[in-house]
Amino acid sequence: MEKSTIFKSIKTLSLVIVAIGFMAVKCKRPESVGPSYKIAPEGFTVSSYTVGNPTVNFSVPANNKDTFYAAFSHEVSWSIILTGRQSGAVKTITGTSQTIDGSNPAWLWDGSHDGLYFFIKNEVVDAKITFLGSNLEYTDSVTVTGTKVFKDIVVTDFETTAGFISYNDAPGGDNPSSAATITDGATMADGEIFKKSVQGIKSFYWYSNDGGPRPNFFGGGGARSVTTFRAQFPNDPDSLYLNVYIYGKGDPNSRLNFGAREDDNDTDVDVGPPLVNYNATTHAPKSDDEFQVQITLDHVGWKLFSFKYSDLTPSASKDNGGNGNGVKEPKRITDITFGLISSPKGNFVEAIVDFPVITFGGPFDPRK
């Protein structure tokens, strides 16, 4: 073995390791990670803790925040955990201080929630305060007489039937049984009595037994006009998001087409020459676009789905939204649409949806 060969090989790989080491130390390391905190020390006590407004109406702009007041023996990291007794909604407000009052905007509650469920109108909310490193906890309560008004465009919350057009593949038609209804207590296929909307009291429920004499995939649908909001819509389809909460039963055969219809020859908005089949604000299925995404309902429970409008695909049916100009134009959107699908055809399928909402610049974030 020649020494020069050995040293050449070692030198090469050593250089590689040195290069890795050099790149490693080039990584900038922070001086600390995470926000500061204070653990409750020995002898920590709580002098007072109350909710500012025992009743609060978050829908009224002048009175849409609640304040908490507390005083402690030491500066400490605390958490106020708000839990709706009916909805199960949760909101956590945290801070590090010796007193709590309205001086810090981050300590105010604007009616928003952190998790899946929304707070419900007229429900009592427990406000429990806990402290880092201590078993001490105190609870006060607040009644929500009006819920938060989101800055996003709520297509419908299904608390009323107003504006939502729904249809099922009716018995006697293709399916032996089907339904499309606003519900707060539907009995689902497996016998589960659906009890809990993700927002408010009611949701929208479709079911369909597609196993009739003429199974045809389709199990029902619905649409809600959004033409009154179109002036706010951006031109860029990358900036518009469609969001909806869907309750799933873990059934991969149940699918939901979710999307939007456009009116490609709309003259309300000056975005191009009229095409065939002019109609001012109405989607014409044979000549206008419908863009959609098919969601497989193989999840269990409620889940928020968010889609960028530019990611949606044209309807596969030429007679139903697949024959427009093929361009995603948010300002031409007329309706937000739903379609229950059996895939493969011939199955019993069902879906519950709630709180479809349109957002700009990013997916729906209930904390904002």
Nearer to other proteins, 40 or 352 (CB): 40
Q: How far is the CB of 184 from other proteins (least distance, A)?
A: 26
Q: How far is the CB of 312 from other proteins (least distance, A)?
A: 7
Q: How far is the CB of 81 from other proteins (least distance, A)?
A: 11
**CB-based contacts of 180-189 (< 8 A; 24+ apart in sequence):** 180/204, 180/205, 180/206, 180/220, 180/221, 180/222, 181/205, 182/158, 183/352, 186/352, 188/249, 188/350, 189/249, 189/348, 189/350
Q: How far is the CB of 189 from other proteins (least distance, A)?
A: 21
Nearer to other proteins, 36 or 105 (CB): 36
Nearer to other proteins, 38 or 286 (CB): 38
Q: How far is the CB of 246 from other proteins (least distance, A)?
A: 12
Distance CA 349, CA 253 (A): 7
Nearer to other proteins, 79 or 141 (CB): 79
Q: How far is the CB of 73 from other proteins (least distance, A)?
A: 15
Nearer to other proteins, 36 or 270 (CB): 36
Distance CA 112, CA 99 (A): 23
**Among candidate residues 69, 231, 233, 40, the one with its CA nearest the CA of residue 132:** 40
Per this entry, what is the length of the chain? 368
Q: Quickly count: other Cβ atoms within 10 Å of residue 189's Cβ.
A: 13
For 185, what's the count of Cα atoms within 13 Å in the CB-facing half-sphere?
0
Tell me the backbone φ, ψ of residue 11, rounded to 5 degrees. -60, -45
Nearer to other proteins, 15 or 280 (CB): 15
Angle at 331 between CA 328 and CA 337, to 5 degrees: 70
Nearer to other proteins, 20 or 276 (CB): 20
User: CA-based Rg of the chain, rounded to a whole angstrom?
Assistant: 27
Q: How far is the CB of 327 from other proteins (least distance, A)?
A: 18
Interaction site with other proteins (CB under 8 A) = 1-2, 5-6, 8-10, 13-14, 16-17, 20-21, 23-25, 27-39, 41, 77, 79, 94, 130, 132-135, 293-296, 298, 305-308, 311-313, 361-363
